[in-house]
A and B are shown apart, each in its own frame.
Chain A
């Protein structure tokens, strides 16, 4: 072997293993960029809502969501009744979730969040406690995955929808002629939005008087992003928060119309220092704010609103708490029954826990002052396994 040939061979011997190594190690993932401060996750669609017709509760039941076997079910506990009844609206697969909106009078409007190949949102309404349903015109987009993505103006029947992309649309009664009402960008550009540093919209509601109210996440610490429509622009309408929270970012997790006004649930802070506040207003401008509830690192999984605006929440720590409007403190509930998906505050100070195990809903009740939960009802729901896969 000549010297030149030896040098060539040596060069190839060095280069080839290097190339092979580079090829073999090519799949090593690059270091991800540092994460930005994220807004807290929206509470699940498991919720309950008090209306003149009674208390409605939407919970997910069945099996694996990944296998399209998680089906949302709607129950009602009619006014002046202690029993729950299955009233899931028919005709549409509801694997994407049900979004409830208190309608005019006893009506309830339900939106089916689209799943799989469906991209628009069917809407359906009942005026007799779920005994009969009639379709409204669909919304040509997907509702946001938040319990307050749909609202009905109690005065006019107009509809408000928060879309998955963050835009808010409004429609005439019956869901006809939807039009864009606001986008996060447009609202952020208003003086109120600039003051808040609005980064996202999280809820849409009407006050009992029919005033449109939108809520979102503010980048400006200590500011609650609640806005009311008026005079051709949006006005800041959020409550003032305790001085102790002045340095905390605030997200409006829930905003719902109740019999007496509107109720909001605010998440202040991030990480272990996160706390939760309820706020009540009759007209969307004057607020009563609850004391903060420290979450100790847990996050909100379900929030429900009962008669008079009583608020009940569940956290990832599987703890339940409730507070009445103007209450001086959050009241811890006894350890929640296994499988509790949501709570439903009652008029007499009781709280129902709706616990789900596959196709069985067990209703547990906690009487005011009691230390335990009592089973009051079991409903076996025929889950249509496999019908969506």
Chain B
């Protein structure tokens, strides 16, 4: 998929260091957010307690708060911990560069083209701003997790559920390619319909109003929903022709064994590899029996949940939990080991959801006690929010509410830079620096030249005085790097906008064989540079060119038979007074849209810097 793969080494030291620095920097800010919120809370409490109203003994009528239902507590805390864990996984050093190519792209590979198109948009966006995107994912997920853990009751808690729904949908669509539901080979055993989809459901349940928590009907609906889902998965698992009934097909592993065989090859502790391999061998030998067992287990569990009878569900739930744990270890391979795991896959969330469904049914309160904020329950959301943020409310807020507010701050901390970065179509220059290292500052007269442009006109360096010159050396018949470099120059001009009138984009031919005007013109046409007003592709006789190459320290050599010309890949920044100010290594690396944009940004930044000084 175009644009998804930055092509950089996932362990590139420059990128890893930048990602770590971004995380540490934002981590400190997150800490400050918590300190600020905490100090504000303490100060407001102290101020309000000292105020006349408080001294006058104003009282707030409050009914005893009804306890949070166990099932909701399980969902809130369970998924809060999962979000925190996922956030920690997002902080892996390789994640910033690797997520599009190692996670998103493989997941989308078997999905239909329209899914790949949607997912590619997100992957490309990530590739343009890997630092911001990587750090954002960490803080957003940690923030949602802490928020869920901290906010047990009230509007803040429900909002945490909604935040979980929102971000869960983002992860499900873009990170999991809609959980793979549009790809062939969909199976519950491998995580269908996507872990994030379960996060979304759990978040939606947490976001329900308090009156719904105390309704037995909610328990009935959740168990029925879980039952229907499992029934659907059982039908899918049993459907013939999908390769799950065979352990081997024509000597090759069947669908399930093939999947686990692949999983066993990922880096992980030896004992896990042994377990997964053992299961693979068992499935290859007894594929039909394994699938029959899974289909029966899912069907029985579905039937129990659909019955709505707690006594029936309880033992089945225990068995289902064991089955999920076995699948988690032997089939999903714990979900996050090897490669770049972003979550522990679907089985743990599914266990939490199934257990919560059961608890919602089995432990529904007989009669709903009125919640603590009596008027709020009857009022609209606006009134409740106003009540929630009223000074008096702040004074009586507990530490959990303060932590929840701090968590919201952390989410904003993560989301804001990403949103700002997304507004810019220009990629982070860290990509270019990771490929070629930082540019070298220079300060000396740029070697003069007199050459011929693509229109046959003589051009000297002196004639370009008053403009910043971005200069490079290109082979017009080069098949790989030079077209990319030309596009980087073209993009740099576009990024400069109105400033481009004060910048000249100049390339000098780096080919002693194909140097004629016909080649510079054909190259310009090929690269759509023939309409760029400040673009010059200069050439001359080989002897003249050789002198210019030598003056700039550029080599252009005829290589072995069949090869293109071997030439230096440098770019130079010349100020408006004709002085060389920077030399950049200009190997374009993988040439993705993101890296091209990044190199262009490096060039345009350098030009802008000189323009601002002139």
| B111, B239, B513: the one within 8 Å of A92 (CB) | B513
- Binary per-residue interface labels of chain A (159-193) against chain B in the complex, 1 for a CB within 8 Å, 0 otherwise: 00000000000000001100000000000000000
Encoded as 1 (CB less than 8 Å from any B CB) or 0, chain A from 328 to 353 comes to 00000000000000000000000000
A67 at interface, CB cutoff 8 A: no
Q: Is the CB of A93 within 8 A of B562?
A: yes
Whether A384 and B561, one on each chain, are in contact in the complex, defined by CB atoms closer than 8 angstroms, is: yes
> Could you tell me which residues of chain B, from 506 to 552, have a CB within 8 Å of some CB in chain A?
511-516, 518-519, 522, 525-526
Stretch at the interface among B138-146, B176-184, B317-325: B176-184
Question: In the bound complex, how far is the Cα of B233 from the Cα of A307, in angstroms?
Answer: 72
Q: Establish whether residues A25 and B184, one from each chain, have CB atoms under 8 Å apart when the complex forms.
A: yes
State whether A117 and B483 are in contact (beta carbons under 8 Å apart), knowing that A25-B184, A175-B518 are contacts in the complex.
yes
Find A387's partner among B231, B526, B563 (CB 8 Å cutoff).
Answer: B563
Inter-chain contact B184/A135, CB cutoff 8 Å: no
- Asked if residues A28 and B477 are in contact (CB atoms below 8 Å), the reply is no
Choose from A25, A28, A117, A135 the contact partner of B479 (Cβ within 8 Å): A117
Are the C-beta atoms of A122 and B563 separated by less than 8 Å?
Answer: no
CA distance A86 to B559 in the complex (A): 14
Whether the pair B242, A24 counts as a contact (CB closer than 8 A) is yes
A17 at interface by CB-CB < 8 Å: yes
- The residues of A that contact B511 with a CB separation of less than 8 Å are 91
For A71, the closest partner residue in chain B by CB is B562
The answer on a CB contact under 8 Å between A93 and B560 is no
Interface-facing stretch out of A8-16, A38-46, A225-233: A8-16
Given A9-B306, A73-B562, A95-B562, answer yes or no on A118-B181 (Cβ-Cβ < 8 Å).
no
Which chain A residue lies CB-closest to B556? A91
| Contact of A133 with B480 in the complex, beta carbons under 8 Å | no
Q: How far is the CA of A116 from the CA of B477 in the complex (A)?
A: 11
Asked if residues B479 and A114 are in contact (CB atoms below 8 Å), the reply is yes
List the A side residues contacting B558 at CB < 8 Å.
90-91
Q: Is A243 an interface residue (CB 8 A)?
A: no
State in angstroms the CA–CA spacing of A71 and B560 once bound together: 10
At the interface, yes or no: B110 with Cβ under 8 Å from chain A? Answer: yes
Closest to A88 in B: B561
How far is the CB of B246 from the nearest CB of chain A, in Å? 17
Known: A92-B564, A116-B479, A384-B560. Is A13-B306 also a contact (CB below 8 A)? yes
Count of chain A residues near B, Cβ 8 A: 54
Measured between beta carbons, the chain A residues less than 8 angstroms from B186 are 20, 23-24
Please tell me if the beta carbons of A122 and B181 are within 8 angstroms of each other in the complex: no
Please give the distance in Å from A381's CB to the nearest CB on chain B.
6
The docked-state distance in angstroms from the alpha carbon of A19 to that of B477 is: 54
Q: How far is the CB of B471 from chain A (nearest CB, A)?
A: 21
- State whether A16 touches B236 (Cβ < 8 A): no
Q: Are A137 and B518 in contact (CB under 8 A)?
A: yes
Whether B477 and A112, one on each chain, are in contact in the complex, defined by CB atoms closer than 8 angstroms, is yes
State which residues 182-224 of B face A: CB under 8 Å.
Answer: 182-187, 192, 220, 224
One of B110, B234, B483, B514 near A91 (C-beta < 8 A) = B514
Q: Does B484 contact A (CB under 8 A)?
A: yes
Number of interface residues of B (CB under 8 A): 51
- Bound state CA distance, A124 and B558, in angstroms? 15
A92 to B192, CA, bound (A): 51
Instruction: State in angstroms the CA–CA spacing of A123 and B440 once bound together.
Output: 38
* Interface presence of B235 (CB below 8 A): yes
Query: Assuming A9-B224, A117-B479, is B239 touching A387 (CB within 8 A)?
Result: no
> Does any Cβ of B come within 8 Å of A315's Cβ?
no
Give B563's nearest chain A residue, CB to CB: A384
CB distance from A270 to the nearest CB of B (A): 32
Enumerate chain B residues within 8 angstroms of A21, measured Cβ to Cβ.
232, 235-236, 239
> Please, how many angstroms separate the alpha-carbon atoms of A95 and B228 in the complex?
57
- CB atoms of B224 and A24 under 8 A apart: no
Cβ contacts under 8 Å, B228 to chain A: 9, 12-13, 16
Chain B residue at smallest Cβ distance from A28: B184
> Which chain A residue shows the least CB distance to B519?
A138
User: How distant is B402 from chain A, measured CB to nearest CB, in Å?
Assistant: 43
Known: A17-B231, A120-B526. A176 touches B480 (CB 8 A): no
Q: Chain B residues with Cβ under 8 A from A88's Cβ?
A: 561-562
B478 within 8 A of A: yes
Check A56 for interface membership: any CB of B closer than 8 A: no
Closest Cβ neighbor of A140 among chain B residues: B522
User: Considering the chains assembled together, what is the distance between the CA atoms of A71 and B483 in angstroms?
Assistant: 20
| Between-chain CB contacts (< 8 Å), 23 pairs | A1-B220, A9-B224, A9-B228, A23-B186, A24-B192, A26-B182, A27-B110, A62-B562, A73-B562, A91-B477, A91-B558, A91-B564, A93-B477, A93-B564, A118-B526, A120-B526, A124-B513, A137-B519, A138-B514, A140-B525, A383-B561, A384-B561, A388-B563
- Excluding A90-B513, A138-B522, 7 further A-B contacts by CB distance (< 8 Å) are A24-B187, A71-B563, A112-B477, A114-B479, A117-B484, A137-B516, A384-B563
> What residues of chain A have their CB less than 8 Å away from a CB belonging to chain B?
1, 9, 12-13, 16-17, 19-21, 23-28, 61-62, 68, 71-73, 86, 88, 90-96, 112, 114-120, 122, 124, 133, 135, 137-138, 140, 175-176, 381-384, 387-389
